[in-house]
Copies of this chain bind each other. A is one copy, B any other.
């Protein structure tokens, strides 16, 4: 049976291990430390720096294919692995579009995929440029680092081009951050389209979900997105499958979308298991983690059929008391049907340390159950103060 190497030791690699055990596939992870989320769950955990070419090359020896738990492995290092004959999936050429938001925007625009208005911010006279952009596209502006952001990091909403904004832009540019600016889209809600593509070219699309964000962090995912028309759902699935195909993605592709009065716009891309797909562990016949393994191994893809009318996932964030276990017992006693997933990570305020999933047909009830479980795991009986 083949060996899949996954660079990165986070919860995505950890949950991929659950799928690998079922498939009988060996998962090897490259983690930064033995106490990282995935390193605690995988027998073949190598400790090293997944940004380092030497560590990556040593890690890749004996792997049938190398894939990624995040977007932060430098593109040149992936290209060098490829030059050494290591099958990297997704490959560096596709992954560039998930690593650099400007590369992604330019490519998608070339494919006539609808995106918000955007532009690179020139390092010389950036403020005059932003003033002109704001005159054309309105305010607020969305300022983004082209590379390295996640979970709202690397994104700044700029209401006014006042002194504070000037200082922010100057500080970022002086730190060498490459900036782009986007129109702030007046969306009705956020959706995500998750698809898989294999080297053979097979594609598979999951139901379109609604994602709820708070402070740039996804807190809740509802599958399928409630009340989404069949036409828009099919359009979102087709769009994601087409992007996967045009970009040559192998593995999963998550397309974050804005639903607006004028239609769908692409927000971000990710080429790995994605937070918007955690619901698939129980809510789809094939979990996104199994699907990613099947895709990168060029196995036939699994059914994406939902297993219940609705699935709701809520992220568990760390609260101010790191002892989660007593609250976890309460949640299990309160709701024997809730599925609790803990990532083996130390609890810190605001950190994603797990998620909960509930399934059924009463969407409002499911949302209440998921929210209760996630809030109680974070705050305990003091959850009401934080609602």
- Interchain CB contact under 8 A, A302 and B43: no
Please indicate which of the listed interface residues A21, A299, A302, A328 has the most CB atoms of chain B within 10 Å of its own CB: A21
Nearest-neighbour CB distance to chain B for A2, whole angstroms, equals: 8
In the complex, the chain B residue whose C-beta lies closest to that of A354 is B24
Which residues of B are found within 8 Å of A364, using beta-carbon distances?
none
One of A120-128, A160-168, A257-265, A337-345 contacting the partner? A337-345
Number of copies: 2
Which residues of B are found within 8 Å of A18, using beta-carbon distances?
18, 21-22
Nearest-neighbour CB distance to chain B for A290, whole angstroms, equals: 9
Q: Assess whether A301 is interfacial by the CB under 8 Å rule.
A: yes
CA distance A222 to B100 in the complex (A): 50
Give 1 or 0 for each of A8-24: 1 = CB within 8 Å of chain B CB.
00000011011001111
In the complex, the chain B residue whose C-beta lies closest to that of A358 is B285
- Interchain CB contact under 8 A, A23 and B342: yes
CA distance A231 to B300 in the complex (A): 43
One of A210-218, A240-248, A303-311 contacting the partner? A303-311
Q: Known contacts A43-B40, A43-B42: does B23 contact A340 (CB below 8 Å)?
A: yes
Q: Known contacts A303-B336, A337-B305: does B21 contact A41 (CB below 8 Å)?
A: yes
Across the A-B interface, give the 6 residue pairs with the lowest CB-CB distance, nearest first: A24-B342, A300-B333, A300-B332, A303-B337, A303-B336, A18-B18
